[in-house]
Amino acid sequence: MPEITSSSLPLMEHFYTLQGEGRYSGQASYFIRLGGCDVGCTWCDVKESWDASKHPTVNTKDIVNFVRVSGSPIAVVTGGEPLMHDLSALTGELKSIGVRTHIETSGAHPLSGSWDWLCLSPKKFKAPLDEVVKKANELKVVVYNKSDFEWAEKFAALVPPDCLLYLQPEWSKASVMNPLIVSYIKDNPKWIFSIQSHKFLDIP
């Protein structure tokens, strides 16, 4: 196995918390939020992540050390759009200390890194690449309006057969969308309701 070389990544924030969404909801996870995004969701709640130049570049070995010291069994790489960066060194070093590697991505950029779990959250603003769609372990579609159900089905037909399918209301419209999602899942039980439990718990 070739030696993994060190590199640096724009690190917006990092913290040890519980995963709030999807298959690993409620499990201890270390979040690594990278700067940089060109997808531009209008309802994004971390727009400050979009400009990578506004965040310090941090050596991947230092990032991995944050995770190691925390004792977290899982590292979740998110953004922004994390796949704007080459994540091979980061995931290689995380795996070398026995940490599971998870990523949350729109899939709009080529896949890099070695992942134990890939959460794909496709966006209409910039469609995901086929190579990422085919690797998804979890499909999470944010429901902002009624047309998003049709959008969700489009990608449900493209992900692997064992991919978990989640529908998640956009937080600011949850009171309107929640009943629609519940009704849709009752009619289409292959889908699972994704609740942002971290927001109810008031944790990062």
* Residuewise pLDDT in 10s, the chain (204 residues): 333 345 899 999 999 999 999 999 999 999 999 998 887 666 566 767 678 888 999 999 999 999 999 999 999 999 889 999 999 999 999 999 999 999 999 999 999 999 999 999 998 878 899 999 999 999 999 998 899 999 999 999 999 999 999 999 987 888 899 999 999 999 999 999 998 877 777 878
Structural domains of the chain in order of their starting residue, each with its CATH number: 8-201 (3.20.20.70)
Question: Is residue 169 classed as helix, strand or coil in its secondary structure?
Answer: strand
Residue 65 tokens, joined: 């050390």
How far is Cα 191 from Cα 178, in angstroms, rounded to an integer? 14
Residue 172 tokens, joined: 């600011």
One-character DSSP codes across 36-72: --SS--TT-S-GGGS-GGGS-EEEHHHHHHHHHHHT-
pTM above 0.85, yes or no: yes
Give the full edge-to-edge strand order of the sheet including 74-78. 57-59, 8-18, 28-34, 74-78, 100-105, 117-120, 138-143, 164-169, 191-193
